[in-house]
Structures are given as C-alpha cells and as structure tokens.
Amino acid sequence: MRELTTEELKTLEVELKNYFPQSLQVFGCIFQLNRTRERADPVTVLVDLWPGFRVLVIKPELRKKGDVFKDLTVFSKDEVYLRDLLAQTDVIEWNNYICMAAELHHEKMLEVVALNRGIAMKKEAVCHMLVLRETTKLLSCDLTSLKVSSLNESHLDLVNGSWKFGCAESRIMIKNMLTNFPSCCILDLYDKPVAWILTYSSCALGMLYTVPEYRGKGIAKALVSIMSKRLLSLGYPVYCYTEEENKISHRLFTSLGFTEEPNFRAAWFGFNDL
C-alpha cells in the first residue's frame, strides 16, 4: 500500500461521495484532514491502488498511552481485497492494541483474520448511523434566549468527566477535538457550559451532554439544531452515531430530521488486550 499525497487526498474526498453512506466515516476523516492537517493529530492515509483504489486505511500515529483512543479506520469496495490485505500483509501492527472502525458486516471476516493471526478480537460497539437529510425539522432557536458559545481547551476536564468512556487516557483525544474541530455549548448566567456537543475526527457529532439540572428543557434539541446549521454553513457532512441500546439519543436525533441508514451498521472492533 502507499500513502496518498496532499493533492491526492483532495481528489479522494470528492471520489468518496460516490460511495455514501458506506464511505461517510472515511469521507469525514478525509474532509477534516484536508482542512486541519497542520494542526490535528497526524494520520497516514493508505490505499492499495491509485487511482481506482479498492481498500482505504486511515492509520493514526500511536506514540503515547492515550493514543489507544485513536481509531484505525478502514473502507473497502470489496471485502475480498480487504480480507487479503489484512491476512497477508503487515500494513497494520498487529502486536499493538487496535481499535478498528469498520462496517459491521466485516465482523465474521475479521474474526477469521484474528484467529489465524492468533490474536484476540472483541466487538466494542455497534451503532446506527443517522444522517441529516431534512433540515426543516431543526429548531428555529431564539438565540436571544440562549447564550451560545464554543468549547475550548479549558473545558477539557468538564467534557472528559461527563463522557461515558472518559478517563486519563481519553484526555489526548478530547483535547484534539476541542482544539481543532467545531464544538458548541450553551452557557448559564455565569458563563459556565451547561450543555455541549463536539465533532469527532470523522466529522460525526458526538459527546452530546446536558448537566442534570438543565435537562427536560429542550436544550439538547436546541444545541443539536444550532450545531447542525453551523456545520452545514461550513460545508460539513452532518451525521452522528447512536449506540443500538441508546433509544433516547436515537429519538432525539430522528425528531430533528436525522434519518437512519437501515442497511448500514458501524462497528468498532478491538484487537489484543487494552
């Protein structure tokens, strides 16, 4: 496999649109990379062929303990090519802990690859993909009644402490998100965030949170609406993932015009013990 150049990444961004929704996650990664390459954590984008690639791998640099929160993301037009790549090459450092973002339908194939390599594999999460296709359901928020702002690095502990997977090691990833990618928050009278939402390196919305005493007031819906409109104005794809068991989040996003891709499931697979 070979690494794509800066100019080739721009071409790749356009080409990936032809394979939505399956390619939306890798498209989001390339979209962000093309705009924040000099600032965000470095990744390597590899393809088996160019042009006319069949397999695309986005590899993060793993240099610190907290880098385990960086996903290795794969996209393939043909599972056979992906299987052969993973089984017969060392494009992935299998001795390390790996969190691979891929389509759920690759699960059986990945189990066989892991078994043949003698490494453990665990399915970490399975999510619905919800894409904003209908903007008329977004709330027309009266911004005069809300103090809207963006998050910054000073909010790192606040966000990390409220996140389901927050820990000492996740601080590196969240710091990168706060520093380089769009975010939005609602402030109280003392300019303290009471609700917020961030953007992952794949452009997906995430880490939506409202502090308990402000729940039930429609703030989360307002926040998602404001953030979605902001991203649309910047040319971003607007989508999110909801875990299969998170019915509340699923209802919130679908009520605002996000629609599910019924034949697509995103999954995260862990290889080796963390």
Q: Is the pLDDT of residue 249 over 70?
A: yes
Are 124 and 14 found together in one domain? yes
Average pLDDT over the chain, rounded to whole? 91
pLDDT band (50, 70, 90) for residue 122:
very high
The whole-number pLDDT of residue 179 equals 92
- CATH code for position 241: 3.40.630.30
Evaluate whether residue 139 is within a structural domain: no
119-128, 134-143, 257-266, range with the lowest pLDDT: 134-143
Are 124 and 55 found together in one domain? yes
Evaluate whether residue 136 is within a structural domain: no
Tens digits of residue pLDDT in 148-166: 999 999 999 999 999 988 8
What percent of the chain stands above pLDDT 90? 73
The whole-number pLDDT of residue 142 equals 63
Residue 180 or residue 40, greater confidence: 180
Are 114 and 198 found together in one domain? no
SS (H, E, C) the chain: CEECCHHHHHHHHHHHHHHCCCCHHHHHHHHHHHHHCCCCCCEEEEECCCCCCCEEEEEECCCCHHHHHCCEEEEECCHHHHHHHHHHCCCCCCCCCEEEEEEHHHHHHHHHHHHHHCCCEEEEEEEEEEEECCHHHCCCCCHHHCEEECCCHHHHHHHHHHCCCCCCCCHHHHHHHHHHCCEEEEECCCCCEEEEEEECCCCCEEEEEECHHHCCCCHHHHHHHHHHHHHHHCCCCCEEEEECCCHHHHHHHHHCCEEEEEEEEEEEEEECCC
- CATH code for position 116: 3.40.630
Evaluate whether residue 134 is within a structural domain: no
Tens digits of residue pLDDT in 3-20: 999 999 999 999 999 999
